[in-house]
Amino acid sequence: MSKKQKRSLVDPTSLNPRSKGTFQVIIETPKGCRNKYSYDPEQGIFTLRKVLPEGMVFPHDFGFLPRTLAPDGDPIDVLLLMDVPAFPGCLVPSRLIGVMEGEQLDGKKKVRNDRLIAVAELSHAYQDWKKLKDLPDQFIHELEAFFVNYHGLEGKKYKLLGCKEAKIAMDLVKKSQKAAARTK
């Protein structure tokens, strides 16, 4: 990039994952959207990665935690609960309440694909959800069904291994931060 060219966005993957006691979740795909967006670090912009079939949408905002690296090679995924959808690239201060541990099978290759579950700090609707146990059982069943179908569209199988509380999620964050630091 020449000195005259300026980037239009700060690279969200380089931000600190925590600030003032909260986690900084970067939104990739808003709730209710059929389009799956992802951040392309080479171009420094969010790009359209896929379109879900008619009638299938993301049930909640979906994003990532900066400066982390999950076993699938991307920053660790975050399912964010908030009142209304955000937009791609939006930073949302959030509190971690747990993790959905999952595994996907792509042919014969098994890859862990966990999703942190967080609540937006400014949420009114989810303000009382402080722990994973606060979520209704039906909520988890519906999320599992979404991810099974979502991965099935790509010919992959997804299996929910379990849901764990915030302490396990925090351990996962620390592990993914160390993995990201080793790749620098």
Give the confidence band of 1 by pLDDT, cuts at 50, 70, 90.
very low
pTM for the full model? 0.91
Confidence check: pLDDT of 7 > 60? no
The mean per-residue pLDDT over the stretch 149-171 comes to 93
d(CA 122, CA 22): 11
The mean per-residue pLDDT over the stretch 139-168 comes to 93
The domains of the chain are located at: 12-182
C-beta atoms surrounding 37 within 10 Å: 21
The mean per-residue pLDDT over the stretch 7-35 comes to 88
d(CA 14, CA 129): 29
In the CATH hierarchy, which fold is given to the domain comprising 12-182? Answer: Inorganic Pyrophosphatase (3.90.80)
pLDDT tens profile 87-140:
999 999 999 999 999 999 988 899 999 999 999 999 999 999 999 999 999 999
Higher pLDDT, 6 or 39: 39
Q: What pLDDT does 6 receive?
A: 52
As beta bridge partners, residue 46 has 39
Q: What pLDDT does 131 receive?
A: 94
**Cβ partners under 8 Å of residue 145, min gap 6:** none
Give the tokens for residue 132: 């994973």
| φ, ψ (nearest 5 deg) of residue 179 | -60, -40
The mean per-residue pLDDT over the stretch 168-174 comes to 96
Of all residues in the chain, the percent with pLDDT exceeding 90 is: 82
pLDDT tens profile 157-166:
999 999 999 9
Which of 66, 63, 33 has the alpha carbon at shortest distance from 50?
A: 33
Q: What pLDDT does 9 receive?
A: 59
- For 105-136, b/e burial (b = at least 16 CB within 10 A) is eeeeeeeebbbbbbbbeebeebeebeebeebe
